[in-house]
A and B are shown apart, each in its own frame.
Chain A
Amino acid sequence: MFKRILIANRGEIAIRVARACREIGISPVGVYSSVDRNSFHLQFMDRVFWIGDSPPQASYLNIEGIIDAAKKAKAEAIHPGYGFLAENSKFAEACEDNGIVFVGPDAKALALVGDKVASRNTVQKVGVPIIPGMQVVDTDIGVFKELASKVGYPVIVKASMGGGGKGMRIVRNESELEASVAAGQREAKSAFGDETVYLEKYIQRPRHIEFQVLRDHHGNTIHLFERECSIQRRHQKIIEETPSVALDDELRHRMGEAAKKVIEVAEYTNAGTVEFLLDENRSFYFLEVNARVQVEHPITEMVTGVDLVRKQINIAAGHRLGLCQDAVKQRGHAIEARIYAEDPENSFLPSPGKIRFLNEPSGPGIRVDSGIYQGWNVPPHYDPILSKLVIWSEDRETAIRRMSGALKDYVILGIMTNLGYLKRIMDNEKFLNGDYHTHFIDDNEKALRLSKGDLIQVLAGIALVSADAENTGVRIPGDTRTEYTSTPWQELGDWKICGRQVNRQR
C-alpha cells in the first residue's frame, strides 16, 4: 500500500479523500492556491504545498506544479477528486510518465470515455441502447425526414459543435421539420461557425439515472446500484437519491448489467459512473461515463455500506475488489442535497463572501461533508459548492422528512445559499410522491418560491436588534401624546427584504 497520497483538489472532496487515506494508514498531502492558504482542507493534511496563484489555470489545473509537489512530498499516488484534473487524460499520462499512480482509470480508458461519439459507438456495439438518431451527418432533408419518422416524433435537431441550447430545435411533426433544420443550420453557423446539425429522438420528461461501478485490475466488475439525479438547475444536479422510485428490481438489474458491460468494453478500471436517461416508457439510453468519484457518491455509501474512496485507493494499489455482486445490497434510503453559495431567487447567481455564522445539523442518519468554516471568506474563483448534506433513513418518506429538518437546522449567514430552496423541494408534494423528471425545477418555479408568511417575525427581530430599547427616542410627527406611559416612538425607518420574489397570494 502507498505511504503518501497527494490530493490534487480543494474543499469538501479534498477533506473526504484525506479522511479515507488516514483510515487505511496513508498520510494525506494537500495542495493549495494563494487564495486558499487559509482554507479548511489544509487542516486535514499532514503536509501542504502551494501550487500557484488563485485562478484554477495557475493552480488546481497546473499539471506541472502538482506533479512537482507530489515528487517533493514523495507521494506514490495522486487522487484527483472530482472536477479540475479528475478526467484529464493528459494529467493521468503525466502521472504515469513520472512513476506516480493516478487514482482513477488509465489514460487510454479516460480518453475513450471522454470522447462522447467514440464512447457511444463503442457501447452500442455491445448492445447497450443509445438515444436513436443520426450516425453520420448529412445535409439532405430527405435523410432527416426518413430518420425522424423512423425514430418517431418529437425529435430534436442539434448543432454538431453545439452547447448551451444554441442551434437546438424541438420538432413535433413532419410539417415543421424542414424549416427547423434550416433554422438550426443558420443558428449553428452564426454561433459556432459550422452549420452541421444532426437529429435524434427527443426524450420528453426524462429521468437521470446513473449506476455506480467498480472494476479492479484483475477483471472483477460490480455495480453498486443506481442514483437518481433528476433534480437539476442549469443542467447541474442539486438533489440526488437512492434507490430511485422509477426502477423496479427487473429494470434495476438490466440497467446494472448494461452499466457493467459499458465499463468492461471500455477496459475501464477504478470507480466510475455510467449515466442513463430513462424515458416515460421505462426505456433507458446510455449518455456517458463519468470517470471520477462523483459529488453524489455518499448516498451509495450510505445504502451499500461500501466506502467508495477507500475502494478507489485499494484498486489503484492493485488490490482485488474483495466484493462480489451478490454481496452488494441496498439498505434503506439515502438523499444528498448540495449546498451552494448561490441565490435561487436571482437565477442562481453565485454569492461568494464571508461566512458570518455557521450552524451545521446533526442527529441520527445525518452526514455533513463540508469544506467551510465560520469566518471564512468563500472565494469567487471556484465552484460554488460549500458542502453536502447526506441523509440516511429506513425508508424514503422518513428520509425526506429528516432532510427537511436538517436543512432547517443548517444555518449559513453572510452569503446567500440555496438552503431554504432545497428545503422547499423536500416539502414539495410532487417530490414527495416521486413524481419528477429533469425539468422539475423549471416546471415548478412558482411552487418553489418563498412564502410570505414569516416576514412579521423577521422584521420584529430586526426591530429588536436595531432599536435602542433604553433610548427615550425622538418624538415623531403624528405622535400627539402629552403624557408618556411608554418611551416615544422610535422611527426605525423602512427596511428592504433584498431581492425576494414572494408569493403574494399565500
Chain B
Amino acid sequence: MDDIHNVLFTKEKDIYVISIDQKEYRVKDYLFQGCHLSFEMGESRISMYIAQDADRNYISYNGECYIIERARAAKAGRRGAAAHHASSVSSPMPGLLVKLPIAIGARVSAGQTLAIVEAMKMQNELRASRDGIVAKINFKEGDQIDAFQPIVELEPQKK
C-alpha cells in the first residue's frame, strides 16, 4: 500500500522549483530551524515539523504524521522482499521473539504460524505466505528483533 512519488528539484534565482510526479510547484523563502520548516507555496505559507534520521524522514503536517523514505533503498529492499516474499518471514514491528514453533527441515503450509513477536503487551503471529520447507532460522526464542529482519527463511517444497 506504500505510495511512491518521483521528485526533482531546481533553483531559479530565489525560486525553488519542485517537480512531483512530473508536475511543477514553485516555492520560495524556505526556512529550516530546529525541527520547524516553513516555505511559501502558491498564495500561502506552509509550516511543518520534520525530524530526520539515517534513511527516514518523519513529518508532521496538519496534525498528521508521515514517515517518508527514499524509495531507492526501499525498492531494493522491496525487490529483495519480493524475492524473499514467499521465502522469508519478518516482523513489521520491533519486539521480543517469544515463540518459534518450527525447526529447520520442517514442512510448513501457507497460513501456518512460524514465529510470534511481542511488543507492548501485544503478540503478533507471523505466518507462512506459502507452502515450503524451513531452510534457515536466524534467531532464537527470547531474542530482541528489529522490524523487517528476516526471521525464518523457507525454500520451496521439492516435488
> Chain A residues in contact with chain B, CB under 8 A?
341-342, 346, 349-353, 356-357, 359, 380-384, 407-409, 411-414, 416-417, 419-420, 423, 450, 454-467, 469, 473, 476, 485-502
Is B86 engaged at the interface, CB distance under 8 Å to the other chain?
no
Residues of chain A contacted by B57 (CB below 8 angstroms): 462, 465-466
Question: Are B4 and A459 neighbours in the complex by a CB distance under 8 Å?
Answer: no
Is B158 engaged at the interface, CB distance under 8 Å to the other chain?
no
Query: Which of B18, B48, B63, B68 is in CB contact (< 8 Å) with A497?
Result: B68
Question: Are B66 and A494 neighbours in the complex by a CB distance under 8 Å?
Answer: no
Quick one: which of B46-74 are within 8 Å of A by CB? 46, 48-53, 57-72, 74
Given A357-B58, A496-B68, 6 other A-B contacts at CB below 8 A?
A: A357-B51, A408-B62, A420-B65, A460-B20, A467-B9, A489-B9
Question: Are A420 and B64 neighbours in the complex by a CB distance under 8 Å?
Answer: yes
Question: Are B1 and A495 neighbours in the complex by a CB distance under 8 Å?
Answer: no
Q: How far is the CB of B54 from chain A (nearest CB, A)?
A: 12
Nearest 9 A/B pairs, CB to CB: A494-B71, A408-B63, A350-B120, A486-B12, A356-B51, A420-B64, A413-B58, A467-B9, A413-B51
Question: Are A462 and B68 neighbours in the complex by a CB distance under 8 Å?
Answer: yes
With A357-B35, A380-B95, A493-B6 already in contact, the answer to whether A460 and B18 are too (CB < 8 A) is yes
Q: Which single residue of chain A is at the shortest CB-CB distance from B72?
A: A493
Is B96 engaged at the interface, CB distance under 8 Å to the other chain?
yes
**Bound-state Cα–Cα, A357 to B57, Å:** 12
Question: Are A416 and B65 neighbours in the complex by a CB distance under 8 Å?
Answer: yes
Question: Are B94 and A380 neighbours in the complex by a CB distance under 8 Å?
Answer: yes
**Proximity bits, B20-42, A CB within 8 Å = 1, else 0:** 10000101001010010101010
**A-B Cβ contacts below 8 A, count:** 212
Residues of chain B contacted by A420 (CB below 8 angstroms): 63-65
Residues of chain B contacted by A351 (CB below 8 angstroms): 93
Question: Are A411 and B71 neighbours in the complex by a CB distance under 8 Å?
Answer: no
**Bound-state Cα–Cα, A420 to B61, Å:** 10
Question: Are A407 and B35 neighbours in the complex by a CB distance under 8 Å?
Answer: no
Question: Are A357 and B122 neighbours in the complex by a CB distance under 8 Å?
Answer: no
Residues of chain B contacted by A412 (CB below 8 angstroms): 60, 65
Q: How far is the CB of A299 from chain B (nearest CB, A)?
A: 22
Can you name 7 A-B residue pairings with CB atoms under 8 Å?
A352-B119, A353-B94, A383-B120, A384-B120, A416-B67, A465-B37, A495-B68
Is B43 engaged at the interface, CB distance under 8 Å to the other chain?
no
Q: How far is the CB of A50 from chain B (nearest CB, A)?
A: 20
Is B79 engaged at the interface, CB distance under 8 Å to the other chain?
no
Query: Which of A349, A461, A501 is in CB contact (< 8 Å) with B93?
Result: A349
Query: Which of A359, A409, A465, A494 is in CB contact (< 8 Å) with B5?
Result: A494
Question: Are B5 and A487 neighbours in the complex by a CB distance under 8 Å?
Answer: no
Query: Which of A417, A454, A493 is in CB contact (< 8 Å) with B7?
Result: A493
**Bound-state Cα–Cα, A478 to B95, Å:** 46
Q: Which single residue of chain B is at the shortest CB-CB distance from A378?
A: B120
> Chain B residues in contact with chain A, CB under 8 A?
1-13, 16-20, 25, 27, 30, 32, 35, 37, 39, 41, 46, 48-53, 57-72, 74-75, 92-96, 119-122, 124, 144
With A414-B51, A462-B57 already in contact, the answer to whether A498 and B68 are too (CB < 8 A) is yes
Residues of chain B contacted by A414 (CB below 8 angstroms): 51, 53, 58
Q: How far is the CB of B96 from chain A (nearest CB, A)?
A: 7
Residues of chain B contacted by A457 (CB below 8 angstroms): 41, 46, 48, 61
The residue in A342, A384, A465, A496 that gathers the most chain B C-beta atoms within 10 A of its C-beta is A496
With A460-B25, A460-B27 already in contact, the answer to whether A349 and B12 are too (CB < 8 A) is no
Q: Interface on chain A toward B: helix, strand, loop, or mixed SS? A: mixed
**Bound-state Cα–Cα, A353 to B46, Å:** 28
Q: Which single residue of chain B is at the shortest CB-CB distance from A408?
A: B63
Q: How far is the CB of B8 from chain A (nearest CB, A)?
A: 5
Residues of chain A contacted by B11 (CB below 8 angstroms): 469, 486-487
**Bound-state Cα–Cα, A486 to B2, Å:** 33
Q: How far is the CB of A97 from chain B (nearest CB, A)?
A: 29
Question: Are B59 and A458 neighbours in the complex by a CB distance under 8 Å?
Answer: yes
Question: Are A419 and B63 neighbours in the complex by a CB distance under 8 Å?
Answer: yes
Q: How far is the CB of B157 from chain A (nearest CB, A)?
A: 26
**Bound-state Cα–Cα, A323 to B67, Å:** 50
Q: Which single residue of chain B is at the shortest CB-CB distance from A341?
A: B120
Residues of chain B contacted by A491 (CB below 8 angstroms): 8
Question: Are B50 and A486 neighbours in the complex by a CB distance under 8 Å?
Answer: no
Q: How far is the CB of A287 from chain B (nearest CB, A)?
A: 21
With A456-B25, A491-B8 already in contact, the answer to whether A498 and B67 are too (CB < 8 A) is yes
**Bound-state Cα–Cα, A499 to B64, Å:** 14
Q: Which single residue of chain A is at the shortest CB-CB distance from B64?
A: A420
Q: How far is the CB of A425 from chain B (nearest CB, A)?
A: 12
Q: How far is the CB of B79 from chain A (nearest CB, A)?
A: 13
Residues of chain A contacted by B70 (CB below 8 angstroms): 493-496
Residues of chain B contacted by A346 (CB below 8 angstroms): 92
With A350-B122, A357-B35 already in contact, the answer to whether A464 and B16 are too (CB < 8 A) is yes
Question: Are B93 and A350 neighbours in the complex by a CB distance under 8 Å?
Answer: yes
With A414-B58, A500-B1 already in contact, the answer to whether A349 and B92 are too (CB < 8 A) is yes
Residues of chain A contacted by B4 (CB below 8 angstroms): 494-497
Q: Which single residue of chain B is at the shortest CB-CB distance from A476?
A: B8
Q: How far is the CB of B94 from chain A (nearest CB, A)?
A: 6
Q: Which single residue of chain A is at the shortest CB-CB distance from B17?
A: A486
Query: Which of A342, A423, A466, A498 is in CB contact (< 8 Å) with B2?
Result: A498
**Bound-state Cα–Cα, A299 to B67, Å:** 32
Question: Are B69 and A496 neighbours in the complex by a CB distance under 8 Å?
Answer: yes
Query: Which of A350, A352, A356, A489 is in CB contact (< 8 Å) with B58?
Result: A356
Query: Which of A359, A382, A485, A499 is in CB contact (< 8 Å) with B120?
Result: A382
**Bound-state Cα–Cα, A382 to B120, Å:** 5
Question: Are A496 and B2 neighbours in the complex by a CB distance under 8 Å?
Answer: yes
Residues of chain A contacted by B93 (CB below 8 angstroms): 349-352
Q: Which single residue of chain A is at the shortest CB-CB distance from B93?
A: A349
Residues of chain B contacted by A487 (CB below 8 angstroms): 10-11
Residues of chain B contacted by A407 (CB below 8 angstroms): 63
